[in-house]
Amino acid sequence: MSSAYLYLLLDLAAISIPLACSFYSGANFSKKWRYLLPALLLPAAIFIAWDVLYTHWGVWGFNATYLTGVTIINLPLEEWLFFICIPYACVFTYFAFTHLIKREPFGKIKQPLTWLLITVLLVTGLLNLGKIYTSVTFISLAAFLIMHVYFFKAHYLGRFYFTYLIILIPFFIINGILTGSGIEDQVVWYDNSENLGIRIGTIPIEDIFYGMLLILMNVTVFEELQVERLRRK
């Protein structure tokens, strides 16, 4: 098979099993699609705009060898699909764990953990203002977590932390391939002057927190829409 389909196949592989399992009668995820659709599209709009800018500025870019060649606003089609396929799989995983695990993960340490994350992210972001990927990602995630503490007061943050730890397993596989693990070159390249230069395998450490911000935004919209519907009843 041509390497031009690699990124597309990764997108489709990520969503295939969650989509197939969405109709399981014990926990029918398809019944939540009314909340899921805006939970996918709103963060996708933000992240695609971010992506377009960073690609234009050369913060990162894409290797045409692994792409079908279809582009929209200078972004590969596969990158657009990434912001639908990956969040769908992640929100499905979150939904599944919510049904499987009734006890609140992290319990009393959820709040201290959140403040620890906020502190580390803010300090690191502010100390690296000259590195646009590091600073914007870390400060944005810290700000969104602060919103959770004071505005959303989310009951689901512990479940999100637990789910994200599990999600990191397939994340390292898919993102590892995208950044060059197991293939001759890399699908996505980075200008290391705009990040910390710290990699886990081939993955820039910023990707972990970029992904965390994306999925937390998906989960937040998904959960808050359901809370709002209950309030109106």
pLDDT at 47: 98
Neighbours of 12 (CB within 10 A): 14
pTM value is 0.95
pLDDT at 143: 98
Which residues of the chain fall short of a pLDDT of 70? 1-2, 233
pLDDT at 149: 93
To the nearest whole number, what is the mean pLDDT of the chain? Answer: 94
pLDDT at 135: 98
The CA distance from 161 to 156, in Å, is: 9
- At residue 81, φ and ψ (nearest 5 deg) are -65, -30
The CA distance from 58 to 194, in Å, is: 9
pLDDT at 153: 84
pLDDT at 228: 80
3-state SS record for the chain? CCHHHHHHHHHHHHHHHHHHHHHCHHHCHHHHHHHHHHHHHHHHHHHHHHHHHHHHHCCEEECHHHCCCCEECCEEHHHHHHHHHHHHHHHHHHHHHHHHCCCCCCHHHHHHHHHHHHHHHHHHHHHCCCCHHHHHHHHHHHHHHHHHHHHHCCCCHHHHHHHHHHHHHHHHHHHHHHCCCCCCCCCEEECHHHCCCCEECCEEHHHHHHHHHHHHHHHHHHHHHHHHHHHHC
pLDDT at 105: 82
pLDDT at 15: 97
* Those residues with Cβ within 8 angstroms of residue 19's Cβ, 6 or more apart along the chain or in another chain: 88, 92
For 127-149, write each residue's pLDDT tens digit. Answer: 999 999 999 999 999 999 999 99
pLDDT at 23: 92
pLDDT at 26: 77
Class of residue 155 by CB neighbours under 10 A (exposed 0-12, middle 13-18, buried 19+): exposed
- At residue 153, φ and ψ (nearest 5 deg) are 45, 50
Comparing CA positions, the residue from 2, 210, 1 lying closest to residue 87 is 210
